[in-house]
């Protein structure tokens, strides 16, 4: 079966997804695109040979669309995921599933009603070779119990009109999912420490340092710095009982010139995670084709990340540690 896909939101991320679905992912075809900016949608539609829609809900219901990728602005994710669930269509939603906990709860309820796990959340780091290698070592237990995790998340510049809250719900949220997925446990508490803001921070709390503890007692430091100027960089180091694991910048080539040695850094996350994104898309398409459960992050994972985001926003506002209260997972919720 060829999966006919539609993309809602063709900004930087959505356009990249559209190109991959049209060009490098097998077993699928890009048939439809929509963007609030019709010119943007039109140019992606023309480039990728897809139909441009002027109504996202019409796109979702269209007979030539089997599955939908949502990459519109964060605040609109929930409404489009709900429309996909109402139409009984699988949906890959870019992170966050919704910026707030209530939105994720509505998605979980709609999915339970649909009676199928139709939602995948785009936490692409789960498909990155480096993070996967780290997870293998954590799982084989050879290093003993994880004790400390240090995460660094730096952007050259923030994506759109960023606020301190969106630095948490849109950027730090990757770290929340990584901690949960890598250590296979839930985050129990969050504290947010403020540095003095960078000159380019434009009124936001940038950088910030989040300290998390996990249910089993590991501790995590996560630096989020989105106006780092020099380039995009994600690092992660695990300290365990019998050794450490370091996910460093993966650029394979070291350039030596003028008495200096150095590795290039990408301008943003797309080159850094291009392979991971394409693996994520391939995996999703395969799951849709066989009507199997989605294998990436689930709606429940998106909900867990939103619970931590909400606690982090409260921690930032109050300056106090916050507990993350995770309710019992109802059997139907994935």
Positions touching ligand ISE (CB under 6 A) are: 155, 159, 170-171, 174, 226, 269
* 110 vs 134 by CB, closer to ligand ISE: 134
Position of minimal CB gap to ligand ISE: 171
* 137 vs 265 by CB, closer to ligand ISE: 265
Q: Least Å distance between CB 6 and ligand ISE?
A: 21
Cα Rg of the chain, angstroms = 20
Residue 267, both tokens:
């301008």
Burial 122-158 (b: 16+ CB within 10 A, else e): bbbbbbbebbeebbeebeeeebeebeebbbbbbbbeb
Q: Least Å distance between CB 171 and ligand ISE?
A: 3
* 74 vs 105 by CB, closer to ligand ISE: 74
Residue pair 22/48 in contact (Cβ under 8 Å)? The answer is yes
Q: Least Å distance between CB 98 and ligand ISE?
A: 15
* 144 vs 271 by CB, closer to ligand ISE: 271
What are the respective helix, strand and coil percentages of the chain, to the nearest 5?
40, 25, 35
Q: Least Å distance between CB 173 and ligand ISE?
A: 8
Q: Least Å distance between CB 172 and ligand ISE?
A: 8
Burial 64-99 (b: 16+ CB within 10 A, else e): ebbbbbbbbebeebbebbbbbbebebbbbbbbbbbb
Residue pair 201/243 in contact (Cβ under 8 Å)? The answer is no
* 31 vs 155 by CB, closer to ligand ISE: 155
């Amino acid at each position: 079966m060829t999966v006919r896909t539609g993309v809602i939101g063709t900004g930087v991320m959505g356009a990249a997804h559209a190109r991959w679905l049209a060009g490098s992912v097998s077993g699928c075809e890009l048939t439809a695109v929509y963007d609030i900016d019709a010119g943007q949608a039109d140019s992606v539609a023309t480039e990728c040979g897809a139909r441009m829609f002027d109504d996202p809900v019409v796109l979702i219901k269209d007979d030539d669309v089997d599955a939908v990728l949502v990459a519109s602005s964060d605040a609109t994710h929930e409404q489009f995921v709900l429309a996909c669930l109402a139409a009984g269509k699988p949906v890959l939603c870019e992170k966050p599933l919704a910026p707030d906990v209530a939105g994720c709860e509505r998605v979980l309820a709609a999915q339970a009603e649909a009676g199928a796990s139709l939602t995948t959340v785009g936490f692409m780091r789960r498909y990155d070779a480096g993070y996967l290698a780290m997870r293998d070592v954590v799982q084989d237990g050879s290093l003993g119990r994880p004790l400390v995790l240090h995460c660094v998340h730096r952007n050259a510049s923030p994506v759109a009109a960023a606020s301190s809250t969106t630095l948490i719900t849109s950027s730090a949220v990757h770290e929340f999912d990584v901690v949960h997925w890598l250590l296979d446990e839930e985050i129990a508490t969050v504290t947010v420490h403020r540095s003095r803001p960078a000159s380019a921070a434009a009124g936001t709390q940038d950088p910030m340092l989040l300290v998390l503890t996990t249910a089993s007692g590991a501790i995590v430091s996560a630096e989020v710095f989105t106006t780092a100027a020099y380039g995009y960089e994600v690092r992660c180091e695990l300290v365990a009982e019998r050794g450490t694991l370091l996910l460093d910048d993966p650029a394979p080539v070291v350039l030596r010139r003028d008495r200096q040695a150095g590795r290039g850094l990408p301008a943003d996350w797309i080159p850094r995670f291009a392979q991971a994104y394409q693996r994520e898309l391939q995996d999703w398409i395969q799951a849709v084709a066989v009507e199997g459960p989605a294998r990436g992050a689930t709606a429940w994972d998106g909900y867990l990340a939103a619970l931590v985001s909400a606690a982090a926003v409260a921690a930032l506002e109050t300056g106090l540690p916050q507990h993350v209260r995770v309710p019992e997972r109802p059997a139907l919720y994935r």
